Copies of this chain bind each other. A is one copy, B any other.
Amino acid sequence: MLGKCFRIVGVNILTGDAARAALKRTFADNPVPESVLQRSAALFGERLSPQQAVDRILADVRERGDAALRHWTQLIDGVDIDVVQLPAHLIESARVEPDLHEAILVAIARVRAFHEKQPAGGWIEHTEGGALGQLVRPLERLGVYVPGGLAPLVSSLIHTAVPAVVAGVREIVVATPPGQGGQVHPAILVAAREIGVEAVYRVGGAQAIAALAYGTESIAAVDKIAGPGNQFVVLAKRAVYGSVGIESLPGPTETLVLADDGADARFVAADLLAQAEHNGAEPVLVTDSRELLIEVERELARQLENLPEPNRSWARDSVMTRFKIVLAGDLDEAFELANLYAPEHLCLLLQDAWSYVGKVRRAGGIFVGEASMEALGDYAAGPSHVMPTGGTARFLSPVNVRDFQNIISLIGLNEVTLREVGPHAARLARAEGLEAHARAIEIRLQDGKAH
C-alpha cells in the first residue's frame, strides 16, 4: 500500500479516526528516561525526576543565592563563574562578521516593525457618570532566558526581547548558559547590545530561572521571565510562576504542513526537514493528495541524504520517531485535524492558500504560501518565533507586546453613578453576606455629599 512507498520514513500513513487519535494532545506524563535518572544520580546522589531535580535547585538558589549559582553551574555546565554578570566591556567590544551583524540588524528591525503595529494602548471614557478605562503600563524589569546548547540562539533573544522593547520595558536582562571559560557567544552579545539589554548573566537552566525569580546577591529579581528553554527551564518556570510572571511554557517545536496536490514537493520536504533538525521536534504533514505523498517521500530521501552532519542525524531522528503523515479525505477534514492538533506552526502550501486562512481556529502562526515559509519566520519575517507548542495554542498566543504590559483598571465614577448603581451593588453585597461592603456604599449615599 501507500505506506510501503515511505522507505526512508518508514511511518504509517494515518487516516480518519487513527489520524484524530494521533493528533489529539493528551498531556500524558512520559516516563523519565533512564539516562536522565542516571545523570541526576551523578549530580544529586540519588535518582530524581526532572521536577524533583528542579525543585532541589530552586530551593538551593533561594537559600544560598550566588553560591548556589556557582555550585550548579560548575556541576552542570562544567564552568567556574566567579562573577555571574558578564562585564559590560565584553558586551561593548563583541564583534561578529559584518554579514552576520547586518542579518542581526535586519531581524531586529523587522521584529520591531511588526510589533509596533500591534494596537496596545489603553483607553479612558468620560461620561456623565464619571470615567472608566484601562491604563496600560509596561513591565518594569524583564528576564529573558536564552538557551545554550550547540549554537548561539541569537534569534531566541531577538524574538523575545524586541517585543518587550516595543512594549516599553526599560530594564531587560538576559540569562544564558556560559560556554567554556564563562564565555557567551559574540552573536548573542552583539544582539544584546543592539537591543539595549541592561545586563547579561552567564547562568542557565533551573538555576537561572531561580535567580531571576527570587534574586541573588548579583541578580536583582525580575517581574517576568520569558523565552524558551529545555525541559528543566520549563519546569522551573512553572514552579516559580506566581512569585514572578512567565509568558508561556515553550516545549519542543512542531510544524504542521497542510498541502494539496498543487504544492511543490521539494518545498514541502524542505520545510519538514527544517523542522526535523530541531531536537525533539515533531514534523506533521496533512494532505488530501496521495500523489503528493509519494513525491514528498522521494524528496525527503534526497534532501536528507544531502544534509551535512550532524543536521542529517538530527533530522533523521525526528523523521523516524515523531513524523506524522496524515491523508485527509478533503481539505475540510485537513483543517479540522489541524485545528484539533493546534500546531505551533501551520504552513499552508495550498493552491489558493489565502482563501483558507479563515478556517484556522487554533495555531501559533499561519505561514501562507510558498514564499512565506517557517524558516523565514524563525528569523526575520516579523512576528516573534516564540509560539505556543504542545497544543497550548488552544489557550496561548505567540510572544507579543501584550506579554510585556499590564492593564490597570481605572474606576473614577461620580455621584450620578453612585446613586444609580450603588443600591444594586449593596444588594449584591448583602446577598453575598458582606455587610461592610454594603455599608461602605451606603455611607456615601446617606451622606449626600459624595463628590
Contact = CB atoms under 8 A, between A and B. Distances in A.
Interface of A: 27, 96, 99-100, 102-104, 106-107, 110, 114, 117-119, 121, 123, 125, 130-132, 134-135, 137, 139-140, 150-155, 187, 214, 223-224, 238, 241-245, 249, 264, 266-267, 270-271, 273-274, 276-278, 303, 307-308, 311, 315, 353-354, 357, 360-384, 387, 390, 392-398, 400, 402, 406-415, 417-418, 421-422, 424-425, 427-429, 431-441, 443-444, 447, 450-451
A397 B406 contact: yes
A3 to B, nearest CB: 24
SS class, residues of chain A in contact with chain B: mixed
9 contacts: A99-B427, A106-B424, A140-B361, A151-B433, A242-B249, A278-B434, A357-B410, A368-B410, A372-B413
A408 B100 contact: no
A437 B274 contact: yes
B436 A274 contact: yes
Contacts of A438: 375
A120 to B, nearest CB: 9
A183 to B, nearest CB: 16
Task: With a 10 A CB-CB cut-off, give which of A100, A440, A441 has the most chain B CB atoms.
Answer: A440
Nearest to A406: B397
A379 B425 contact: yes
Nearest to A357: B410
B242 A392 contact: yes
B443 A266 contact: yes
Contacts of A374: 440
Given A224-B395, A417-B371, A408 B365 contact: yes
